[in-house]
A and B are shown apart, each in its own frame.
Chain A
């Protein structure tokens, strides 16, 4: 007797290849949140140290510090990854608690817009100091 085809998964082969669940979004969001979280562990520790170190420093000292390549790159990485992590996290919070469709869409658009704008403002400021 030939073997019975295995039909215990009610998903099309295409659906399985795409790897997307019922949310049609897959694991990209989850993975990005974990990846940015991991990167933020050392970056946050560096940022706390920096804030403590430069809490009473002069404007010139902060300028000199951010003009050297390594703090410049670390600050850019911190800003980019922080705001990416923030918009991912805010999205989850909004999707969990705001159920009315227009309010949900508006909140999502607003939070992502603000994250992008703040990130760009920070990046431009850091580059302006560095160059």
Chain B
């Protein structure tokens, strides 16, 4: 034992033999239920959207600066890499929006029961996919 905390992990079994206490399984051991995946995705998309605010800031600064600066920003957003970023950002935004609404419903005290819990999770996934595709189809085709 190198660490004093290890002492707390050692005990005697019914035969009086020293054994390591069992640990609860690490997060990697669990099968991933939907809500567990959505929960961590909510955080990941939140941080990703935080990075995405840099693009929004650039766009607003460029719009406030000059025609040339605005053209540069629009050029980047319209480039393949810019469009890829924008697609990822739209996906994250729709997910965080719908998942956030699910959280707000929980905060109001509803939706904790077993069927509702999973149904709302799948609803978030489906709504995210449908709205992202719709937004891009409308954005590219109509406007």
Q: Give A residues with C-beta under 8 Å from B.
A: 34, 37-38, 40-41, 44-45, 48, 51-53, 55-56, 59, 62-63, 66, 75, 79, 82-83, 86, 89-90, 93, 118, 121-122, 124-126, 128-129
Contact = CB atoms under 8 A, between A and B. Distances in A.
Interface of B is mostly: helix
Q: For chain B, give the interface size range.
A: 20 to 34
B54 A118 contact: yes
Nearest to A49: B135
A93 B64 contact: no
Contact of A41 (B47, B50, B77, B101): B101
A39 to B, nearest CB: 11
Interface stretch (B10-18, B23-31, B55-63, B115-123): B55-63
Given A55-B77, A124-B64, A126-B60, 14 more contacts: A37-B100, A41-B100, A44-B97, A48-B90, A52-B139, A53-B143, A55-B143, A56-B143, A63-B63, A82-B53, A86-B53, A89-B50, A125-B63, A126-B64
A56 B78 CA distance: 9
Contact of B47 (A75, A83, A90): A90
Contacts of A40: 97, 100
Given A52-B138, A55-B143, A59-B67, A125 B61 contact: yes
A89 B46 contact: yes
